[in-house]
């Protein structure tokens, strides 16, 4: 998992990604799900900015996707939307800053 995740100046979760790298990014709902006594029944990733997604998994409420590509200077994002067995729906977005590292 990447260690370059931070909050940007607008309070959004962001990460730096090199256009040549393939990195795994995770969304962790495990504590929230445990508090609600719920589980993820389905999840969907969406992307923007020319990145490509693969190898998506859900392990104990931590949903992960590998992200490849992107163009330097072009904003990109990765969003994950879950639906739980109890009918809850949540979506979280990670802004990707594509730059040479």
The pLDDT, as a whole number, for residue 6 is 86
Mean pLDDT of the chain: 94
Q: In whole angstroms, what is the distance from residue 23 CA to residue 87 CA? A: 31
What pLDDT, on the 0 to 100 scale, is given for residue 4? 74
Is pLDDT at 1 greater than 50 in this prediction?
A: no
pLDDT tens per residue across span 19-66: 999 999 999 999 999 999 999 999 999 999 999 999 999 999 999 999
């Amino acid at each position: 998992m990447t260690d370059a995740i931070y909050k940007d100046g607008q309070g959004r979760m962001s990460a730096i990604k090199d256009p040549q790298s393939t990195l795994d990014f995770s969304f962790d709902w495990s504590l929230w799900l445990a508090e609600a006594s719920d589980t993820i029944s389905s999840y969907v990733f969406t992307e923007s900015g020319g990145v490509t997604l693969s190898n998506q998994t859900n392990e104990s409420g931590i949903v992960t996707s590998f992200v490849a590509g992107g163009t330097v200077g072009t904003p990109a994002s990765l969003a994950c939307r879950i639906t739980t067995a109890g009918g809850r729906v949540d979506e979280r977005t990670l802004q990707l800053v594509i730059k040479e590292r």
